[in-house]
Amino acid sequence: MLGTSHDAPKQDVRREAKACHSGARGELLREWIQGPVPGQVNHHPDPDCERHDAHEREWETHASKSYQARKGAPEAVHDPPYNQPALKLLIIGCGRVGSQIAANMDRAGHEVVIVDRDPNAFSRASTRGVLTRDFKGDQVVGNGTDVDVLRRAGIERADGFVAVTEGDNRNIMASQIAKHVYKVPHVVARIYDPERAEAYEKLGLHTICPTIEGARHIEKVLMERETG
């Protein structure tokens, strides 16, 4: 009895993942298509917009100095590798990871659209010196799990889809929509919960778990110092 009780959380996670992967999943995701909520497509916003996030403000001075240092020497723009066409990429979540991916892929010559429900997220990324005025991609204000917003962002033409919001539930739902409704060829979801990441990975959703990857990296560094 104690063993059964201990396994309950894992069983719940597996049930949740299987429910999303079952035949009912398609109907559930298609219900998401019914009520359109408009998404606003914006090009690069004014980097001086007001910032409200206290955590982001800690970086303001350092990021501004870094950006000023880079202004005199613009970063090189690289074309896609020879004979490889530019990819159309849709990124959900304009935090530190999402904005960095967007900037890197844009500099590599790919078509990038990044979505965030907070319009100030784009100006914060600009202040950090990530999404600067050189960024050629589009920025969409809206909920990344809303199908109308995803359509406006070009999900029907996307070659790759990345969900890196701060919420596991949003990342899972957005990725499921991209993979199973719009058949995007390459879908990656960041999931902090190791058990959920493993469960959805087994069902065919490519997941990245920072909790596991971070722990492994720290352990590796500690062991290298120990043997050194």
CATH number at residue 213: 3.40.50.720
Within-domain flag for 178? yes
Q: Give whole-number Cα distances, 113 to 90, 151, 195, in Å.
A: 5, 11, 30
Q: Are 206 and 187 in contact (CB under 8 A)?
A: yes
Q: Which two tokens stand for residue 47?
A: 């980097």
Domain holding 196, by residue range, is 85-228
Q: Over 60: is that where the pLDDT of 77 sits?
A: no
- Does 15 map to a domain? no
Does residue 36 lie within any of the structural domains? Answer: no
Q: Tell whether the model's pLDDT for residue 59 goes beyond 60.
A: no
pLDDT given at position 148: 97
The three-class DSSP label of residue 37 is coil
Question: Where is pLDDT greater, at 78 or 46?
Answer: 78
* pLDDT > 70? residue 175: yes
Q: Tell me how many domains the chain contains.
A: 1
Q: What is the mean pLDDT of residues 153-165?
A: 98
Do the bridges between strand 111-116 and strand 138-141 make them parallel or antiparallel, or are there none, so unpaired?
parallel
- For residue 16, being part of any structural domain is answered with no
Asked if residue 194 belongs to a domain, the reply is yes
| Residue 113 domain-assigned (yes or no) | yes
Q: Which of 123, 127, 130, 85 minimizes the C-alpha distance to 107?
A: 130
- 70 within domain boundaries: no
pTM of the model as a whole: 0.69
Task: Identify how many contiguous H helices and E strands the chain contains and give both numbers.
Answer: 10, 7
Is 64 within the bounds of a domain? no
Identify the weakest region by mean pLDDT among 49-58, 74-83, 105-114, 155-164: 49-58
Per-residue pLDDT band for 167 (boundaries 50, 70, 90) equals very high
